[in-house]
Amino acid sequence: MKLSPSVTIEQSDTGLEFIKVASELCEATIFLQGAQITEFTPAGKKPLLWVSKLEDYQEGKGVRGGIPICWPWFGVSQHEGWPAHGVARTGLWRAEEVKEQEDSIYISLSLPMTQVDDKYWPHKTKLLAEFILTSSLELRLTTTNMDNETIHFTQALHTYFPTPAIEETKVDGLQGAKYIEFGEGPYEQHDLVSFARETDMVYTEAEATQRIITPDGIIEVGRENSTSCVLWNPWVEKSKRLSNFADDEYHVMLCLEAANVLDDSVELAPGASHTLATTLRWV
C-alpha cells in the first residue's frame, strides 16, 4: 500500500508489516511491531544501523538490531518473569501520519494501550514515536501522562551501530561522565572509550553528543532530554548466549543508547509529556 510517493507499507516473509522508505534522501525500514526502525541509509552513504545476519523477524520478538524501543522499563524488570526492556518493543504500533516533503520525510506511530497488559502498566498514557528522515535520522519518543497520578518510568532507544572492526573503534564525548559497569561504580570516564572486552556501561551526567569513530567514518549521536546513555558490546562469551546473534558478530557492532535511567529516570505529573530523542548522522 502506497502512503506517499516514496513510502509504502509492505510485509516480511514472516508476516510482519513494515513501512518502507525509498527516496532520493534515504532508504529506511520501520516495522509496526515495536515501531522498530531496522534500516536507515542516507543517500550516498553507508548504513547507519546494524541488524544481525541471523535475525528472523518473528512475531512477538524484538529484532536484534536497528533501534528497539525500551519502555516503560529498561533492562531486566524487578518483577520476575516480566519481559526484558518493557512492552513497547514487541507491541503492535499503529501508523498515524506520513508526511513527505522535498527535504524530509516524517513518519509517526502510536502504541494503542489496548496492546499493553494492565499487569505490566496499569496507567493511562499515550506513547508516540516520530521519525524525521533527512541525511540524518531523528527518533522522538513522547510519553504523555493521561492519568490522575504521577507515573515513573525508565526507557532507552537501544541503537545498534555498525563498524567494520570493533577493536579499531572508539567513542568520544563521554569524558567526564560517571558510569556503572556490571553493577559496580560509579567510576569517572577520563579517556575515549575503546573495546577489548565485554562492555556494558551505564553513563550518567553525559554530554548531549558523542562520536563513534570507526574505520568507515565518524557517526555523531545526539540526545535530547537525556543525561544518561548506555554503551554495550557483548564480546566473545556473551555473544555465544545471545539469541539471533552470530558468535563472531561482536566484531561488527556496538550499541550507544539514548536513555532515561538511574538518576535520570522520568517522573511525569498528570497531563505532562516527556520526549526522549536521539539524532544519528555520518559526520
Q: Is 229 exposed, middle or buried (0-12, 13-18, 19+ CB in 10 A)?
A: buried
Q: How large is the average pLDDT for residues 221-247?
A: 97
What is the tens place of the pLDDT at every residue in 200-212? 999 999 999 999 9
Domain segments of the chain: what residues? 2-282
Asked if pLDDT for residue 3 goes beyond 90, the answer is no
Give the CATH number of domain 2-282; options: 3.40.1410.10, 2.40.40.20, 3.40.930.10, 2.70.98.10: 2.70.98.10
pLDDT at 238: 95
Q: How large is the average pLDDT for residues 225-242?
A: 97
pLDDT at 4: 87
Q: How large is the average pLDDT for residues 160-187?
A: 96
Secondary structure (3-state) at 249: helix
What is the tens place of the pLDDT at every residue in 143-158? 999 999 999 999 999 9
pLDDT at 276: 98
Q: Are 123 and 253 in contact (CB under 8 A)?
A: no
Report the mean per-residue pLDDT for the chain: 96
What is the tens place of the pLDDT at every residue in 187-201? 999 999 999 999 999
| Cα dist from 49 to 100, 103, 145, 175, 242, whole Å | 22, 21, 31, 24, 19
Give the count of alpha carbons within 13 A of 63, CB side only: 30
Q: How large is the average pLDDT for residues 18-46?
A: 98
What is the tens place of the pLDDT at every residue in 62-121? 899 999 999 999 988 888 889 999 999 999 999 999 999 999 999 999 999 988 999 999
What would you report as the CA-atom Rg of the chain, rounded to the nearest whole angstrom? 18
| Residue 124 pLDDT class (50, 70, 90 cuts) | very high
Q: Are 141 and 56 in contact (CB under 8 A)?
A: no
Three-state SS sequence of 15-34:
CCEEEEEECCCEEEEEECEC
Asked if pLDDT for residue 219 goes beyond 90, the answer is yes
* Lowest pLDDT segment from 1-10, 38-47, 209-218: 1-10
Ramachandran area for residue 91 (φ above 0: left; ψ -120 to 50: alpha; else beta): beta
What is the tens place of the pLDDT at every residue in 168-177? 999 999 999 9
Q: How large is the average pLDDT for residues 248-275?
A: 97
